[in-house]
Amino acid sequence: MAYPAARCNSTNPAVAIAHTAESFLVICETVTNAGVQYTLTSNALVITRGATQLADEAMLLYWSN
């Protein structure tokens, strides 16, 4: 499985790479996304906006630096 658009640039290297059944993530050294918070662990990806939980996805593959 290849995801050529999922990458960081040389000044903000990848600190985590993860895959769930619904998502593929590459987390760069600095990341923001309009008030949405991503909590990423080796067990799950939880996405929230304020007090609202938008997703809770079990982790299939996980790497962190």
pTM of the entire predicted model: 0.74
Q: Rounded distance, CA 38 to CA 35, Å?
A: 10
How many domains, in total, are found in the chain? 1
Q: Within a domain: residue 23?
A: yes
The pLDDT-based confidence of 59 (bands split at 50, 70, 90) is very high
What is the model's pLDDT at position 1? 55
Q: Within a domain: residue 55?
A: yes
Q: What are phi and psi of 14, to 5 degrees?
A: -65, 135
What is the model's pLDDT at position 4? 62
Q: Within a domain: residue 22?
A: yes
Q: Within a domain: residue 4?
A: no
> Could you list the residue range(s) of the whole structural domain that residue 33 is in?
14-64
Place of tokens 């593959």: 61
pLDDT in tens, 19-57: 999 988 888 888 668 889 888 999 999 999 999 999 999
Q: Within a domain: residue 60?
A: yes
DSSP string covering 2-58, please?
A: --TT----TTS-EEEEEEESS-EEEEESS---TTEEEEE-SSEEEEEETTEEEEEEE
What is the model's pLDDT at position 12? 86
What is the model's pLDDT at position 25? 86
